[in-house]
Structure 1
């Protein structure tokens, strides 16, 4: 299609899938995954996207309602207004629209999916500068929510290790941190272990956090506020344990600021948080040039978003294990058939079919949809 991709039809669905058990992090708890799925018809191709948000704004300022609203009023009319040559052109058009990164990522995703299908190429290969450098398999590890007792955390870690995982991430918050990490380390002194605070601590906690050097953690993820690069820099200077930024990495520009300030030893790229795969690649490239390792984070959601994250995780600079591929460990069901291939218990195959390489189960999509809009 030399003139670009002109979409004939867009459908946005608000989807709700129950969790197997409550998932708790420092800022809240969810029992139901509430997100938005975007379907886009373009001639013979159907592209898929997902706004991996929640029903309430506890991780990001966006919610399912805001994603549907900005989609209905701004993004869908713009996408239907013209033909698009590639996802980069879409991202350029988004520069004048502030925020709403997860919603933008869903719309960008359908372009990647359709582009890949039209070329008979996977999104992972389209994303790479050199497809031969793409990693065909990605090591992954679980993210364990805050438990009621240190003993229940140790029990959960045992269950995850029995599945074949080698890297363990545990959520922490003030009052439920040291005792839990101590118990986990005592039980598993040699396991690759990291902790994630989801911005739960403040600058006055730096000495408390610095004492965690004794645990031999592979990293501490986002200990301080999402907009606090300055004190993350101070923490990096203070600690031997690598500090990983997650919520703070919202744009390529903020990534550059963090790298220049030396406010991060490691960077977690969340595809939805930075607005899609185009900016995920830009963040990856900035970090690779700076010699800062990255990994690809995940959020609870369906295989649609996971497919895009696996494409990002195939990039050569993504050297740490990812959170990707664990959706089925938490959700009671999924809307994508044939979940991603797993080997050795902890490696997930990057989809190599055209586009995202997924097949959406329309019966399940309709079953879990609670709102539908069409343009």
Structure 2
């Protein structure tokens, strides 16, 4: 029995080392919610709500998540006798949407459970890797050549580019001039329409690792059509908000691989279900990033240790985004890989002093 005792939700604000620009928005300061769940013995599990302050990526924001956590999700766990964290997904199933808020609680409970078992979260989840391959994301504001050269020295296994419509080839070729053998992909961020089908197929000669989410979130049809016309693999990101979405995407042949983000799909149980479908279908997975702190990154690394996560994920090291992370052992990339923590739970120590300093508001909940 997990026996939850209390929880704390913190609204944390952290300034990025450099602004991060996509076609959908600019992030200068990363506001996030950190969820702490405690058991009766004082052990604590950590989760992170990866919603942004503004609804440019998804309908969820830090404000909507704060409300859901305080008024709905945490109270739903009151007097519940949890035997296993997989039960949380079913408890929250009565709430429509709000996947990121759900995931922040569910992942914290998985962390707590693993600590109670005295096992690394990787082992509890069934992970098979001691280290995971790391890719890096370059924003529209990055000095492409300079950044690529720097990250190439660290051995990153893949470069993901944010691009502007009509300037994809120019951006990709600038990167290819610096590195010749590191796989390159670009993120469409859903900015293309059916009228861009020919334009996208004309990029097939660039020998990309993949094109991520070219069309709208709800558009399985045009993703399928593009997939049949290109040899370049098509990846789905924002389209996959649940295990059912992943099942449909696989059955409708709308993609060649799936980017799994814990926050976007609602937590580990949904991610594990997606992993099961992908394994049966023989479909590669990879772990996406959401400008997380070290807490969220630790969860991502544990997820990426699962068998079907065979493509490099958005798992760059802590110093890529932060002058000082809120964990005491920042993640490092060595020879293009990140080590999976082997201590109980997510395996990192939170810098409580810095976390307090970055907290701008909080509330407590007693179960």
TM range (shorter): over 0.9
Map of 2:240 onto structure 1: 249
Q: What SS does structure 2 have at the residue aligned with 1:360? A: coil
Question: What is residue 312 of structure 2 aligned with on the other side?
Answer: 321
Contact kept, 8 Å, 1:102 with 1:272, in 2: the verdict is: yes
- What pairs up with 1:235-314 in 2 under 5 angstroms? 235-314=226-305
Counterpart of 2:341 (choices 313, 332, 351) is: 351
In the TM superposition, what whole-angstrom CA distance separates every residue of 1:176-212 from its partner, at most 9, and x where no partner exists? 4222122222443332111112111111111111111
Alignment partner of 2:164 out of 154, 168, 173 = 173
The question of whether the paired residues in 1 share the 8 Å contact of 2:149 and 2:178 is answered with no
How many angstroms apart in 2 are the aligned matches of 1:118 and 1:23?
37
User: What's the counterpart of residue 137 of structure 1?
Assistant: 131
> Does 2:355 correspond to 1:365?
yes
8 Å CA contact 2:317, 2:330 repeated in 1 = no
Shift of residue 308, structure 1, vs aligned partner: 1.2
Cα distance in 2 between the residues matched to 1:342 and 1:231:
36
Residues 1:98 and 2:89 are matched in the alignment: no
Name the SS of the counterpart of 1:18 in structure 2.
strand
- What's the offset of the Cα at 1:52? 1.1
Q: Name structure 1 gaps, 5 residues minimum.
A: none
Residue 108 (structure 2) aligns with: 110
**Contact residue 300 and residue 327 of structure 1 kept, 8 A:** no
1:197 aligns with 2:188: yes
Could you list the per-position Cα deviations for residues 227-279 of structure 1 after superposition, in whole angstroms to 9, with x for gaps in the alignment? 11110000101111000111111111111111111100011111111011111
Q: Distance in 2 between matches of 1:248 and 1:263?
A: 10
Aligned pair 1:219/2:210, yes or no? Answer: yes
Correspondences of 1:8-23 after superposition (within 5 Å)? 8-23=5-20
Deviations 1:136-165 (A, max 9, x none): 1001011001137xxx32222112112222
Corresponding residue for 1:5?
A: 2
3-state SS of paired residue (2:7) = strand
Given the alignment, which residue of 29, 42, 48 partners 2:39? 42
Unaligned runs of 5+ in 2: none
**In the aligned structure 2, how far is the partner of 1:203 from the partner of 1:347?**
37
* Matched residue, 2:321: 330
Specify whether residues 215 and 147 from structure 1 end up closer, same or farther in structure 2 by C-alpha distance, changes over 3 A only. Answer: farther
Equivalents in 2 of 1:81, 1:325: separation in Å? 39
| 2:79 alignment partner in structure 1 | 81
Distance between the aligned counterparts of 1:125 and 1:325, measured in 2? 22
- Counterparts of 2:315 and 2:77 in 1: how far apart (Å)? 28
